[in-house]
Structure 1
Amino acid sequence: MTAAQDLARTRAETLAQIAALTAEFDEVVAASASSNADDEHDPEGATIAFERQQVAALLDQARQRLVDVDDALARAAAGDYGRCAECGREIAAERLAARPQARTCIDCAR
């Protein structure tokens, strides 16, 4: 599988994850809106608020991953994909297989 195919697959998976998390977030918000729970005084309110924040954080991470993947696709189109943005060395194939949108080699990532 080529780098562009890996990135396209990662992009598709990330878009699916964003869609699922958005739906989950909307469900949590709808459930809390239809409830008369007072987040501050209701014991269940803290759980609802925590769940909403947890899903929001996961959604933010997925959106950032999409930005990173799109950036990697642009680097691939420009011929710069697979080169460390810090030191200029080649990024190991294993790292790119695990994280196709990686911008740095493992040494610079540490």
Structure 2
Amino acid sequence: MTGPLPALRARAAELDALLARLEADEGSVRADRADATADDEHDPEGSTLSGEWQRIEAIRRAAASERAEVDAALARVDAGTYGICVVCGESIAPARLEARPFATTCIVCAA
């Protein structure tokens, strides 16, 4: 298998695994927050449950956003428009696509 598909599919699988782990982590935090005896706000050694929930949510949002970018790149592969800058219509440099396989713009337009 050549071209962008292996990298995009691998990244999609990594993001799916990360999102599943984050969902499990969020479930644990929810369970801990439901425990009336959990007094995390007074624990000087650890992060608060609220802080942990916010951290998990921020990572989840970033991973979901990147997953959407990967899906869009896969759709561009199917449409035959992968590697074409959406702004100027020129080819995106292979090195840029290697570094960021879901890039939608060439380096010039990205700047």
Structure 1: which 5+ residue stretches go unaligned?
Answer: none
Q: Give TM-score, length-normalised by structure 2.
A: 0.84
Measure how far apart 1:22 and its partner are.
1.0
Which position in structure 1 is the counterpart of 2:42? 43
Which position in structure 2 is the counterpart of 1:109? 110
Measure how far apart 1:65 and its partner are.
1.1
Whether contact under 8 Å (2:19, 2:63) holds in the other structure is yes
Which position in structure 2 is the counterpart of 1:94? 95
Which position in structure 1 is the counterpart of 2:21? 20
Provide the secondary structure at the position in 1 that maps to 2:48.
Answer: helix
Provide the secondary structure at the position in 2 that maps to 1:76.
Answer: helix
Measure how far apart 1:109 and its partner are.
2.1
Q: In the alignment, residue 33 of structure 1 is paired with which amino acid?
A: A
Which position in structure 1 is the counterpart of 2:67? 66
Q: Give TM-score, length-normalised by structure 1.
A: 0.85
Whether contact under 8 Å (2:32, 2:38) holds in the other structure is no
Report the number of matched residues. Answer: 108
Question: Could you tell me how far apart the structure 1 residues matched to 2:19 and 2:12 are?
Answer: 10
Measure how far apart 1:107 and its partner are.
2.4
Measure how far apart 1:69 and its partner are.
0.7
Q: Do residues 80 (structure 1) and 88 (structure 2) align?
A: no
Measure how far apart 1:35 and its partner are.
4.2
Q: Which has the higher helix share?
A: 1
Structure 2: which 5+ residue stretches go unaligned?
Answer: none
User: Once the two structures are superposed, what CA deviation does each residue of 1:40-63 show, in whole Å capped at 9, x if it has no partner?
Assistant: xx334x721111011001101111
Provide the secondary structure at the position in 2 that maps to 1:11.
Answer: helix
